[in-house]
Structure 1
Amino acid sequence: MAKAFASAGDMADKEISFTQVGEGLWAFTAEGDPNSGVIIGDDSVMVVEAQATPRLAQKVIEKVREVTDKPISHLVLTHYHAVRVLGASAYDAREIIMSDMARAMVAERGQEDWNSEFDRFPRLFQGHESIPGLTWPTTTFSDRMSVYLGNRRVDLMKLGRAHTAGDIVIHVPDQNVMFTGDIVEYHSACYCGDGHYGDWPQTLERIRAFDLDAIAPGRGDALVGRDMVNAALDNTADFVSSTYDAVKRVAVRGGSLQEAMAHVREVCDPKFGDYAIYEHCLPFNVARAFDEARGIDTPRIWTAARDKEMWQALQG
């Protein structure tokens, strides 16, 4: 029997957690669904990651209102993926911030990504009728910028390519806490379909150099304490490297995509098979790793049609 496409068969509600990761800092998590972050300043709030729809964004806003009545002034988006950005209109933020590369990727492939992810994650797109269109930033930056929420400084930085070419992290220096988007995951598979395997481990090491007290990752539980932070960085690096090395061993000898998939299963299933969205991510990850191993630096655009052709070829 053929497996359900991506997460099409996952329609069960997830339990939401709202975890404090520092003074005035919170991680919104939901059992492997996309996370959001909350940064409370002196007079206003910054939210990190919008969620997939305005309906899902309201769940984040409800949690914000449990801890503060300050207005949400800033929305920061770590990258361009639809499940992260299309709920933006719910926040009524005066400023929406992305890296300039992430904005370019919205222009280049944002609609295709929306169409693709809509089919991959039907549960996350319930209420999609309220999405007004693609999410565009009001502010972009190249390498680094700081936002002041009153006296609280928040640093936005591009540390290197990883999950996408436009990834940024958000660092709150007064608590030494970072919101990493999907560069770091915890007991959730990394989605690498638009990733850069060769660069990702170096980007993780640049995060490690901050010697952080906590991380709010892209998926999975909040990481509080340096031991948990470093374990998650190690685990994410292992996931990325194990996948890429297995594929590359097949690609460099002229093997097929199907052979690469089989070898990744041998290497990765025993270590990561029980991770959230592992089966969802695996075919996309193998396809992207196969391309990168053959010298294709820029990830090819995923479309709804290409998704399903690849899925049938690799999953049956």
Structure 2
Amino acid sequence: MTTDWVEVADRVLVWRQPVLDVNAVLVVGGAGALVVDTLSTDAQARELADAVHRVTPLPWRVVNTHHHFDHCYGNAVLAPEPGTEIWAHTECVARYERWISADGGAARVAEVAAEYPSIPDVRGVTLRGPNRPVSGEATLDLGDRRVDLRHLGRAHTDNDLVVVVPDADVVLAGDIVENGAPPSFDDSWPLEWAGTVAALVELAPGTVVPGHGVAMSLDEVKAQHADLTALEWACRDGWRDHAPAAEVAAKAPFASPLAVERAYAFLDGKL
């Protein structure tokens, strides 16, 4: 399957990688460009870098929307020079610093490779972590356009970062929202996720690019917010009633026992 850019707004282009259906995004300005997320493997990242070069000769910076491998493991290819800026939330930066300081990141790469045996190229990745931390918000100047990086709250992870392109009326949401698949709750905060999506809705973008799947309208994001809100209250009610997590999950949106278990752990003070 050949991957190519889809322009979802003025000089905002989406590269939809078939493996895991993950999105990388290119935002082009007058004096520079921004690559948002770098995919899972060196091979995927090299294909992405070649595609960026076909669009623009301008230098680029990188943003990682969160720490998961499918959004960060191409960093060493997309940002080979030590001085290249890789922006991410503070907790994302800290994770990569810990993994790399321990053994160069080898144990972490092996762990992810074992979890995803269908993507054998993961095993050959050399970790490069982000180097520009964002705790709340930051603004990048691409020449004739501004790009805002914002942490709206915990959701899919504790380090979700959204990219706002005001002049294009676009928000790049990472995995705060997904299209075509249910949310992943492995590192999630189910009792806070709906509130974070509500903050995204308040930005009132015309187009939202999710971490996976095709671009979404604001109404589609609102529908996902409604499901996450229903999940949150199902978890709260279930915890109050001492209901088994599996029983609550069977009646809640997304049918995820893990989401309920993480919500219970939080309410028990264990998360």
Instruction: Please state which band the TM-score falls in when normalised by the shorter chain.
Output: 0.7 to 0.9
Structure 1 177/52 Cα, relative in aligned 2: closer, same or farther at 3 Å?
same
Per the TM alignment, residue 265 of structure 1 is displaced from its structure 2 partner at its CA by 2.9
SS at match of 1:104: helix
Report the counterpart of residue 74 of structure 1 in structure 2. Answer: 61
Q: Kindly report structure 1 stretches of 4+ aligned residues shifted beyond 4 Å.
A: 14-17, 107-116
**Residue 35 of structure 2 is aligned to residue 61 of structure 1:** no
Per the TM alignment, residue 206 of structure 1 is displaced from its structure 2 partner at its CA by 1.4
Per the TM alignment, residue 156 of structure 1 is displaced from its structure 2 partner at its CA by 0.8
Write out per-residue CA displacement over residues 157-198 of structure 1, whole angstroms, 9 at most, x where no aligned residue: 111111111111111111121111111112221112212222
Instruction: State the aligned residue count.
Output: 262
The aligned amino acid for 2:162 is: V
**Preserved CA contact (<8 Å) 1:252 1:293:** no
Per the TM alignment, residue 216 of structure 1 is displaced from its structure 2 partner at its CA by 1.0
The aligned amino acid for 1:146 is: T
Report the counterpart of residue 263 of structure 2 in structure 1. Answer: 289
Report the counterpart of residue 195 of structure 2 in structure 1. Answer: 202
Question: Identity of paired residues, percent?
Answer: 23
**Preserved CA contact (<8 Å) 1:157 1:170:** yes
**Residue 85 of structure 2 is aligned to residue 95 of structure 1:** yes
Report the counterpart of residue 170 of structure 2 in structure 1. Answer: 177
For 2:50 and 2:268, the matched residues in 1 are separated by 46
Per the TM alignment, residue 107 of structure 1 is displaced from its structure 2 partner at its CA by 4.2
Please, what TM-score do these two structures have when normalized by structure 1? 0.73
Report the counterpart of residue 309 of structure 1 in structure 2. Answer: none
For 1:209 and 1:251, the matched residues in 2 are separated by 29
Report the counterpart of residue 85 of structure 1 in structure 2. Answer: 72
For 2:15 and 2:161, the matched residues in 1 are separated by 18
- Which one is further off, 184-193 or 167-176? 184-193
Gaps of 5+ in 1: 1-13, 274-281, 299-316
**Residue 13 of structure 2 is aligned to residue 23 of structure 1:** no
Please, what TM-score do these two structures have when normalized by structure 2? 0.84
Structure 1 132/116 Cα, relative in aligned 2: closer, same or farther at 3 Å?
closer
SS at match of 1:184: coil
Structure 1 287/29 Cα, relative in aligned 2: closer, same or farther at 3 Å?
farther
Which structure exhibits the higher relative contact order, with contacts defined as CA atoms closer than 8 Å and separated by 6 or more residues?
1
2:245 aligns with one of 246, 260, 276: 260
The aligned amino acid for 2:263 is: A
Report the counterpart of residue 117 of structure 2 in structure 1. Answer: 122
Per the TM alignment, residue 62 of structure 1 is displaced from its structure 2 partner at its CA by 3.9
Report the counterpart of residue 155 of structure 1 in structure 2. Answer: 148
- Which one is further off, 238-247 or 41-50? 238-247
Structure 1 54/148 Cα, relative in aligned 2: closer, same or farther at 3 Å?
same
For 2:58 and 2:223, the matched residues in 1 are separated by 36
**Residue 210 of structure 2 is aligned to residue 217 of structure 1:** yes
SS at match of 1:132: coil
SS at match of 1:160: coil
The aligned amino acid for 1:105 is: R
Structure 1 184/141 Cα, relative in aligned 2: closer, same or farther at 3 Å?
same
Report the counterpart of residue 131 of structure 1 in structure 2. Answer: 125
The aligned amino acid for 2:52 is: V
